[in-house]
Amino acid sequence: MPVYKAPVEDTLFLLNDVFGIERYNNLPGFADASADVIEAVLGEGAKLCEEVLQPINYSGDQEGCTRHSDGRVTTPKGFKEAYEAYAGGGWIGLAMDPEYGGQGLPYTLGAVMNEYASAANMAFAMYPGLTMGAMAALYVHGSDEQKQTYLPKMIEGKWSGTMNLTEPHCGTDLGLLKTKAVPNGDGSYAITGTKIFISAGEQDITENIVHLVLARIEGAPAGTKGISLFVVPRNKLGLDGSVGANNGVSCGSIEHKMGIHGNATCVMNYEGAQGWLVGAENKGLNAMFVMMNEARLGVAIQGLAQSEVAYQNAVAYAKERLQGRALTGAKEPAKAADPIIVHPDVRRTLMSIRAFNEAARAFVLWNALKSDVAHRSGDAAERQAADDQLGLMTPVLKGVLTDVGFDNAVKAQQMFGGHGYIAETGVEQFVRDARIAMIYEGANGVQAMDLVGRKLGRDGGRAIMGFFNEVGGFLKDNAEDEALKPLLAPLQVSLGHLQQAAMWFMNNALARPDNAGAGATDFMHLLGLVSLGYMWAKMAKAAQEKLKAGADGATERMNAKLVTARFFMERSLPETAVHLARITAGADTTMALSAEQF
Ligand SMILES: Cc1cc2nc3c(=O)[nH]c(=O)nc-3n(C[C@H](O)[C@H](O)[C@H](O)COP(=O)(O)OP(=O)(O)OC[C@H]3O[C@@H](n4cnc5c(N)ncnc54)[C@H](O)[C@@H]3O)c2cc1C
């Protein structure tokens, strides 16, 4: 049976030693999160994930969700109780405003918990994850009344949330959406239409479901400029907030799909359902973007989480499975063969996953802290800089962490040989679950286009210039550090590749947009690699400093960090050269054949 242990020590190293979370104490909620509190909070979260969520991951996958003839949906055994434990532990409202019953703690801690929960049980973690995303949109764009009505119940775990964008004929291109909203004359709207692929659209976990639905008000302009956001509870609400009759919202069917079987993916029918506008008319995409940006970071975390849990299981197996002898002679002569972890190719695989996971975790937390700054700082310039970075990095996090997360789940599966292909070992579930993260919340190719087409040139390239300056500044400040030199030299080279690629787009993409489109995915991965390399440089510096200060019992872990940093710089980072070569090859061969020739 699969195993999972939340990487609490690694998280604490990042928060305390690499990013110095105490430096953020001036932000609301951070002063309450002292080092001791953080350790206790993460310890509790880890326990819930390891002891409650992980044990129902495999069974939840096997059992899946069931839709009954009356439209009700049953989730796998244990999910309802786990949700109660999750909400009861305060995890849904961890970072939410105390005015609505939240704890007001840093969003960053919520991101950590999201990693642990998604690694322990991704299908389950989507139920609270979507609820938190819906709460974020309501919190930013909802009226006071909407916030008072919905947020406390969602935080308590009584009601959940969903996001309804996709329709049968439109996924990426939301400008095509047809669901309509007709004013009822009393401030509410009648919502009619069909949404597909709605995660957690129906379930037996909470007493009500708060659907956030994109729809077009009668007479609104065509395309994305005519889309509005509505809050549509599945069940009508009494004046006292009690849950009443069905509100014209039903689940028509659920999908049979490759992974995340424990999460119901629903066709949702809205038949004159009563909904209320969230935010301004025709500005629905704007409002939904709050949810989508949070959800994209959440999906990025899913990529990391599946990579981490797959890695942990591959390591456990590689230490046990006896096959062949080490190239340098038997390591366990008393046994019939050595464990496969002695083989360099097995090591190469495990090290490449590990080097990614540790840097990806740092990359997530670095940006989660920026999100806290962007939303909580009182300093406008600080907020702006954090928001710039977050805007630039959101598609990179989503695209790179899920692409590589899936690749890593496959690599981990490979360590099991044929046994990895068999359901019983549980590792093939990680592969199946990881796959969706590359697709939903905007397919990764679309993330790459968002990066190159919108984010790169926005505000005269201010965000990417900020990143160049930060990494360049780090390289300069640490240029005399002899121990860091072998790590910084490859980072300098790769930063150069990134700058050349950005310059190449400036010179070649405006006149020929296909040049941007054909190189976008490579650019996303190139920026991702440099970001991960930068994370490794920061982690190596912090590890060195910790070692100098006596390491406080962490000598072995810090030495391992330094080795893993070198592995990444020597073996993963050089891929930036390949991405640059592909980008500068342009779109000629990519676009030359006619559609008929395919
Ligand atoms: C399990 C599951 C859960 C989901 N949960 C939700 C949910 O909760 N709420 C919700 O609203 N939706 C949800 N979705 C829908 C999901 O977000 C969409 O499937 C996704 O955004 C892609 O849309 P599509 O399937 O229509 O693909 P299409 O838009 O038809 O795109 C097909 C492919 O074409 C390419 N492509 C399309 N346009 C471009 C472009 N402009 N540039 C480059 N490449 C492009 C991409 O590679 C894409 O993969 C879910 C889907 C699944 C399968």
What pLDDT tens digit does each residue of the chain (598 aa) get?
899 999 999 999 999 999 999 999 999 999 989 999 999 999 999 999 999 999 999 999 999 999 999 999 999 999 999 999 999 999 999 999 999 999 999 999 999 999 999 999 999 999 999 999 999 999 999 999 999 999 999 999 999 999 999 999 999 999 999 999 999 999 999 999 999 999 999 999 999 999 999 999 999 999 999 999 999 999 999 888 899 999 999 999 999 999 999 999 999 999 999 999 999 999 998 888 777 777 899 999 999 999 999 999 999 999 999 999 999 999 999 999 999 999 999 999 999 999 999 999 999 999 999 999 999 999 999 999 999 999 999 999 999 999 999 999 999 999 999 999 999 999 999 999 999 999 999 999 999 999 999 999 999 999 999 999 999 999 999 999 999 999 999 999 999 999 999 999 999 998 899 999 999 999 999 999 999 999 999 999 999 999 999 988 999 999 999 999 999 999 999 999 999 999 999 999 999 999 999 9
CA of 13 to the centre of ligand 1 (A): 36
Q: Which residues pair with 170 in a beta bridge?
A: 167
Residue nearest to atom 37 of ligand 1 (CA): 172
pLDDT of residue 318: 98
Tell me the residue type at 163: M
pTM listed for this prediction: 0.97
Residue nearest to atom 48 of ligand 1 (CA): 443
pLDDT of residue 294: 79
Rounded distance, CA 24 to CA 106, Å? 10
Rounded distance, CA 161 to CA 134, Å? 5
CA of 449 to the centre of ligand 1 (A): 14
CA of 304 to the centre of ligand 1 (A): 20
Closest atom of ligand 1 to 441 CA is 17
Rounded distance, CA 539 to CA 253, Å? 47
CA of 197 to the centre of ligand 1 (A): 9
Buried b (16+ CB within 10 A) or exposed e, 378-405: eeeebbebbbbbbbbbbbbbbbbbbbbb
Element (H, E) at 494: helix 485-508
pLDDT of residue 289: 78
Nearest alpha carbon to residue 35 among 12, 10, 4, 65: 12
Helical pair 107-120 and 344-376, crossing angle rounded to 10 deg: 150
Rounded distance, CA 122 to CA 507, Å? 42
Residue nearest to atom 36 of ligand 1 (CA): 446
The residue ranges of every structural domain in the chain are 443-591
Buried b (16+ CB within 10 A) or exposed e, 517-531: bbbbbbbbbbbbbbb
* 44 labelled catalytic: no
Residue nearest to atom 42 of ligand 1 (CA): 446
CA of 140 to the centre of ligand 1 (A): 25
**Nearest 10 degrees: CA dihedral of 312, 313, 316, 318?**
-110
From the candidates 115, 202, 308, 441, which is the catalytic residue? 441
Residue nearest to atom 22 of ligand 1 (CA): 171
Residue nearest to atom 41 of ligand 1 (CA): 446
Q: Ligand 1 site: residues with CB under 6 angstroms?
A: 163-166, 171-172, 197-199, 257, 265, 436, 439-443, 445-446, 449
Task: For a ligand 1 pocket test, name from 127, 167, 172 the mutation site with the most ligand atoms within 8 angstroms of its C-beta.
Answer: 172
Closest atom of ligand 1 to 162 CA is 8
CA of 371 to the centre of ligand 1 (A): 25
